[in-house]
Amino acid sequence: MFSPKIFLALLIPLGVLGNTASLDQRSPGIVTQAGSPNVIDTNGVYIRASSTNNGGLIAGYTAHENNQSILRLAGSSDGGTSWHFVGEVYRADSTAHDVDNAMPLQLPSGRIIYAYRNHDRSGGSYTYYRITVSYSDDGGASFLYLSTVEQQAATPGTPNGLWEPFLRLATDGSLQCYYSAENNANDQDGYMKRSTDGGLTWSNWIKVSGGDRTSRDGMIGVANINNSGNLIAVFENTESGPFSIDYVLSHDDGNSWGQRARLYTARNGKNAGAPQVVNVGGTLVTSFMTNEDVAGTGGNGIDGAQMKVVTSTDGGSTWSGTTITGDAGSHWPGLYTVDQTHFLALYTKDGLGAVSQEYQLIN
């Protein structure tokens, strides 16, 4: 992520990775608007959504109110057309704590788990970093602490933070948590840990990206390419200077990663970052925010600029031109697959708050 940082059944949830029933099909890759922005929370930021076992969807995000950072859960039973408050996960004093990067996921058992960054700070400096998981057994109305995926004390003078958890269920029923970890101000790598007990305990990490170069790899998003264990992970990076979007591939359902390549480079030396990816009827859709056309207000110039998407109908080998899915004044986008031809753009819009907006893939 940018500095400063503001901020099991074996069916993989639809909103996290797309519809597993027909991932090998190929929907058209042309994106068109299918709806207006629908408000999730007027104070929400950094939205991540996933499907529920009853066909609905849940969205996690952070609200900042009265010097409090509040992790919330919202729900929708109509594909994101309307939203309702479900529950509060955790709140903390913003001067002493930094909680953000929400990621909810419902397990086949019905339990909802919710991952987030959970850091301590004093006098404007970080003192301790964590990726925390909370859980709910009452549909998201209340949450309790479950586990810590990763943690470490801050190193004075050398950033070593932990950021941006992303949850998915593997085809063997295990739970995967992807996250980013800083080595220093100029270098950050991507990791994954696995849990076989619903997030109570976690394995040793495996490297997803980085390690072979100096680059701020971050904001990992993962999607199935097909039903055969082939995955794509997208992430921002600085290997060429400005932030751009790279990807890596896995052919064993996330157990190992490689074949790193460039996905998108912003025009005119500008930045593109904060990516996510979903599979929509076999077409990969990758989102990011960029200041290549409109200047932002933070986050290396891209926070508050535009949300754009590109598509791939050949498993990520080639990508389309961009489509704007969140105009100027958009922040920290995410994606959710609605059905075989529709997806939600999730972002915070100046003057509205956290919103979802439906888009369609057409001929």
- 133-152 pLDDT per residue, tens: 999 999 999 999 999 999 99
Structure confidence by residue, pLDDT tens digits, 48-64: 999 999 999 999 999 99
Give me the architecture of the 14-362 domain, per CATH: 6 Propeller (2.120)
Distance of CA 69 to the CA centre of its chain: 19
Residue 272: band (very low, low, confident or very high) from pLDDT cuts 50, 70, 90: very high
How far is residue 242's CA from residue 305's CA, in Å, rounded to a whole number?
15
How far is residue 313's CA from residue 23's CA, in Å, rounded to a whole number?
11
Residues 211/231, Cβ–Cβ less than 8 Å: no
Q: Please list the residues that pair with 362 across neighbouring strands.
A: 30
From 207, 147, 213, select the one nearest 180 (Cα to Cα): 207
Residue 362 reports pLDDT greater than 50: yes
Lowest mean pLDDT among 1-10, 41-50, 66-75, 196-205: 1-10
How far is residue 270's CA from residue 262's CA, in Å, rounded to a whole number?
15
The pTM assigned to this predicted structure is: 0.93
Phi, psi (5° rounding) for residue 28?
-60, 155
From 265, 267, 227, select the one nearest 245 (Cα to Cα): 265
